[in-house]
Amino acid sequence: MSEIRNVPELFGSDAFNEATMRQRLPGHIYKAWKNCIETGSQLTLEVAQEIAEAMKLWAIEKGATHYTHWFQPMTGITAEKHDSFITPTGDGRVIMEFSGKELVRGEPDASSFPSGGLRATFEARGYTAWDPTSSAFVKDGSLYIPTCFFSYTGEALDKKTPLLRSVEEVSREAVRILRLFGDQETKRVKVCVGAEQEYFLLPRDLYAQREDLRLTGRTLFGAQPPKGQELDDHYFGTIRTRVSNYMKDLDEQLWRLGILSKTKHNEGAPCQHELAPIYTDVNTACDDNQLIMEIMKKCAAKHNLVCLLHEKPFAGVNGSGKHNNWSLATDSGKNLFSPGKTPRQNAQFLVFLSAFLAGVDEYQDFLRCTVASAGNDHRLGGGEAPPAIVSVFLGDELNGVVQSIISGTNYKEPDKSLLRIGIDIMPAIPKDTTDRNRTSPLAFTGNKFELRMLGSSQSIAGPNIALNTIMAEELSRFADVLEKAEDFDAALQKLICDALTEHSRVIFSGNGYSEEWKQEAAKRGLSNLSSTAEALATYASDKTVDLVTRHGIFTENEFRARYTIHLEAYNKIMNIEARTMVDMAVHQILPAAVHYTRDLANTVAAKQAVGASCRAEMALIKNLSHHTDGLYDAIELLKKAMSVMPRDSQTMAFKYHNRVIPAMNALRAEADALEELTDKSYWPYPTYSDLLFY
């Protein structure tokens, strides 16, 4: 393993970032680009032409021969189609060319990407458009250009387009609020996101021996190992050499691309790790997270490892999530979720806080839907990740302030006079609240909100689109009221007090895993959408459709198309998992049990011939036969559950959830019982002990 010597020099060396642009572009071109970033103005084709030329020269120096428009279709992973720079000169030679047009617009054949019915096959064309706000980069001999992806008729087919739209919305509405508090400078408000990524690493050879891991990314069978994570000896433990070599390599590759990989450590489960980058603007964070996931996988292969990003690779041990740390900041870097020093700043902080709470409460189903997936169903509500009930944890200090505003009492001396926002000084809130509630789906952590509901394999775009949009909605309602107010302070006091009172049900500080919380949440009228099938049934509710269309994040068609895409993805994954189970049970598990039983029976016959005791063998045979019959029946029941599927995707999703999953669980129980009874040399695939304690 070579040592990395000069990180600052290495960092971003393969990214066409701002520093490179400043250095490589003519002054007026750089300024035009910068202006586009800062004000959202359009770039002319002439400017694009100059940028394309500089990009090409730079990329060729970096060894690139091709370029690709890189986009994020609804598959949740990224897509690319590579074209070389070569252009014939007519005399048998070529030159390397790349035009402004090629930079700005592409036309990949889009027919195989999910469109949710937005595209008929006869108009299968999809277009990509350069996103100049995210850096291009060179990887594996190609220049990668981040792009938006849309249909012939202009409908968004990707995750980036609505994300960029939502960033504009929340920025505009936040600026309106800032103006009311006397800020005349801020032109834009940025959404800042840091996404912590959890993952598992397994030896490649063991992985290859399991069909379930290869086909579905998780184990569909597997008895519990004698040791799990109960000793907590993995969390933050010493990182073993093989893994630390992998992490070093990974860091180097990410740094080259300008990705701010910062923290790495072992996680709760054996073989589980985490990588956290330093936060950046949400669009870049989203692109970076896609790259992190992709490079994590590729890099693992180099080290004879496999990186699993599935939310629940193993039953009985922690699954993997992604913590999405979200905040808003002005273009000069002032965090709008930092409680301020002056009463005025504190009042402004309370406006943003109230808007956040109102939005999360009002649109809890929307938020819940953005993290719904087959894989994440194993986590949410599973007693390790946050529950499926959306609530917000504020910490004692801030909660105290909020409750005192609601009850109209003074925070410090409860029986004294009213706490007047903007007049009284709100107590300083410690930046790093110590009693972090790990069971909360959305926790205020000093100056940002940490959304912990995301699954490890999911794009971070969905929940950020939701957070930005609900925030834009509430801020705009607040601004409407405050802009018209004759007595600003009085209006502000009332607005904050009303919002907090109306939405306080979404605040919860207790144990989110407890049964009492489920009952309490139901009493408060909070949703508990405990599965993807249930969650998605609320996806295109009138309320959400109204919200996203009013803010121009999605057209109604785009949004309904996404509902279809998510349902279909869920149904397809369930179908693959169920079929893989049947396949493994019929072709691997059943024969293993039968062969072992046969050999035991032969042993019994031989032993009886010499008059030896066969009590153990007989008992074992009886037990094995019992579970073999059980396995056989469970296979038949699962096949039956899957034999007739409703045509309607939502009904199908409910059937998978209500009928197929219980049948899968029953099959697994029989198989795992057989595994516990069977001689290891007969067992067809590596066990949990083999995999988790390699």
Query: In the complex, what is the shortest distance from the CB of residue 391 to ligand ADP, in angstroms, rounded to a whole number?
Result: 18
From the CB of 450, what's the least distance to Mg ion, in Å?
6
Distance in Å from the first CA to the final CA of the chain: 22
Backbone CA torsion sign across 534, 161, 456, 333 = negative
Which structure tokens are listed for 175?
């600026």
Q: Any contact of residue 323 with Mg ion (CB under 5 A)? A: yes
Helix count and strand count (H, E) for the chain = 24, 18
Shortest Å distance, C-beta 193 to ligand ADP: 6
In the list 76, 100, 146, 194, the residue contacting ligand ADP (rule: CB under 6 A) is: 194
Least distance between Mg ion and beta carbon 446 (Å): 12
Site string for ligand ADP, 324-343 (x = CB under 6 A): -xxx-------x--------
Closest to 157 (Cα-Cα) out of 103, 92, 112, 214: 112
Looking at residues 111 to 150 of the shown chain, list those that interact with ligand ADP (rule: CB under 6 A).
Answer: none
CA angle 203, 209, 210 (to 5 degrees): 100
327 binds, among Mg ion, ligand ADP, none (CB under 5 to 8 A by kind): ligand ADP
Distance (Å) of CA 364 to CA 162, 322, 493, 496, 529: 19, 19, 25, 20, 10
Which span sits near ligand ADP by CB under 6 A: 191-199, 404-412, 630-638, 641-649?
191-199
For the CB of residue 334, give the shortest distance to ligand ADP in the complex, in Å: 11
CB of 450 within 8 A of CB of 438?
no
Q: Do the Cβ atoms of 314 and 308 come closer than 8 Å?
A: no
Q: Is the Cβ of residue 310 or residue 323 nearer to Mg ion in the bound state?
A: 323
Select the binding partner of residue 279 from ligand ADP, Mg ion, none (C-beta < 5 to 8 A, by kind).
ligand ADP
The C-alpha atoms of residue 155 and residue 149 are separated, in whole angstroms, by 9
Q: Which amino acid is at 216?
A: T
CB of 436 to Mg ion, least distance (A): 8
Q: Which residue has the tokens 């949990």?
A: 688
DSSP summary character for residue 378: G
Reduce the secondary structure of 93-128 to three states and give it as a string: CEEECCCHHHHHEECCECCCCCCCCCCCHHHCEEEE
Q: Among 350, 385, 380, 354, which residue's Cα sits nearest to residue 368?
A: 380
Please list every residue from 136 through 155 that binds Mg ion, using CB under 5 A.
Answer: none
DSSP 493-526: HHHHHHHHHHHGGGB--S-TTSHHHHHHHHHHT-
Q: What whole-number distance in Å separates Cα of residue 149 and Cα of residue 151?
A: 7
Residue located via tokens 């029953």: 666
Are 103 and 48 in contact, with CB atoms under 8 Å apart? yes
Q: How many residues bind ligand ADP (CB under 6 A)?
A: 15
CA geometry: angle 215, 218, 224, nearest 5 deg: 135
Asked if 191 contacts 667 with a C-beta cutoff of 8 angstroms, the reply is no
- CA gap 66, 63 in Å, rounded: 9
Binding region for ligand ADP (CB under 6 A) out of 193-201, 339-347, 593-601, 667-675: 193-201
CB nearer to ligand ADP: give 190 or 655.
Answer: 190
Q: Which partner, Mg ion, ligand ADP, none, binds residue 311 by CB below 5 to 8 Å per kind? A: none
> 267 to 326, contacts with ligand ADP by CB under 6 A?
276-279, 323, 325-326
Residue among 186 and 410 whose Cβ is closer to ligand ADP: 186
Residue type, 272: Q
Q: Which residues pair with 128 in a beta bridge?
A: 106, 149
| CA atoms of 644 and 641, how far apart (whole Å) | 7
Residue 193 site contact among Mg ion, ligand ADP, none (CB < 5 to 8 Å, cut-off depends on kind):
ligand ADP
Query: Considering beta carbons, is residue 340 or 395 the nearer one to Mg ion?
Result: 395
Closest CA to 187 of 79, 329, 86: 329
Closest separation in Å from C-beta 397 to ligand ADP? 17
In whole angstroms, give the CA distance from residue 271 to residue 187: 46
**Interacting residue with ligand ADP among 74, 192, 305, 309 (CB under 6 A):** 192
Compute the least distance from the CB of residue 463 to ligand ADP, in Å.
13
Partner from ligand ADP, Mg ion, none contacting 686, C-beta within 5 to 8 A by type = none
Site size with Mg ion, rule: CB under 5 A: 2
Instruction: Answer with the entry of ligand ADP, Mg ion, none that 687 interacts with (C-beta below 5 to 8 A by kind).
Output: none
Rounded distance, CA 62 to CA 245, Å? 25
335 contact choice in Mg ion, ligand ADP, none (CB below 5 to 8 Å, kind-dependent): ligand ADP
Amino acid at 99: S
Q: Which does 276 bind (CB under 5 to 8 A by kind): Mg ion, ligand ADP, none?
A: ligand ADP
Contacts of 434 (CB under 8 A, 6+ apart): none
What does 530 bind: ligand ADP, Mg ion, none (CB cut-off 5 to 8 Å by kind)?
Answer: none
196 vs 384, which CB is nearer to Mg ion?
196
Nearer to ligand ADP, 444 or 554 (CB): 444
Which residue is at the shortest CB distance from ligand ADP? 194
Instruction: Decide if 576 contacts 217 (C-beta within 8 A).
Output: no
Minimum CB distance to ligand ADP, residue 447 (Å): 5
Contact set for Mg ion, span 609-648 (CB under 5 A): none
Stretch that binds Mg ion, among 40-48, 193-201, 205-213, 604-612 (CB under 5 A): 193-201
For residues 246 and 326, which CB has a smaller minimum distance to ligand ADP in the complex?
A: 326
Q: How far is the CB of 196 from Mg ion (least distance, A)?
A: 5
Partner that binds at residue 166, options ligand ADP, Mg ion, none, CB closer than 5 to 8 Å by kind: none
Residue-level length of the chain = 694
Q: Which of Mg ion, ligand ADP, none binds 452 (CB below 5-8 Å, type-dependent)? A: none
Nearest to 167 by CA among 562, 544, 458, 465: 465
**Which one of 196, 198, 311, 670 is in contact with ligand ADP (CB under 6 A)?**
196
Nearest-CB residue for Mg ion: 323
The footprint of ligand ADP on residues 57-116 (CB under 6 A) is none
Q: Residues 414-453: x/- map of binding to ligand ADP (CB under 6 A)?
A: ---------------------------------xx-----
Residues that bind ligand ADP (CB under 6 A): 192-194, 196, 276-279, 323, 325-327, 335, 447-448
Which residues contribute to the site for Mg ion (CB under 5 A)?
Answer: 196, 323
